[in-house]
Amino acid sequence: MNTIQITIESGAVINYTEAEILRFINKAEEVNAVQQVANEYRATANSIRNQVRDFFSEREWSDRETTVNLDEVNELLNSIGSHSIQTTYSGNITISVSFCDLDADDADDAISKIEDDITVELYGASISIDQVSVDDIEED
């Protein structure tokens, strides 16, 4: 087994094996990689801080107040890589549906299946079905 002798300042001699030296080298490379990532995050944080400061310093101020509209805020948020602020909407929707080939014992069974099983999905929005009415049903 190869060993390396190192004499430290106090004069003591320390022996390291080749495997120990390789572990130290690998650990140093890991530390360098982590330091590089930390430096990138630090640079990003500094850039964001500067963009936010510039955004507000370029505004007109009166009595220590300024007005910012949603479009301006969203432009700032987008410029720093953040999600924009979205407005929440709600409303009423009328949906007309036609169906065919629904197997049922009789018309009442078909109506029951439709009323019990109809669902609506909309991009993750909360949907509640207030009323389902079957206006016309015919046997094929």
First to last CA, the chain: 89
Instruction: State the average pLDDT for the chain.
Output: 90
- Global pTM? 0.55
Confidence at residue 123, expressed as pLDDT on a 0 to 100 scale: 83
**pLDDT above 80: residue 100:** no
DSSP code at position 3: E
pLDDT tens, residue by residue, 27-45? 999 999 999 999 999 999 9
Confidence at residue 68, expressed as pLDDT on a 0 to 100 scale: 96
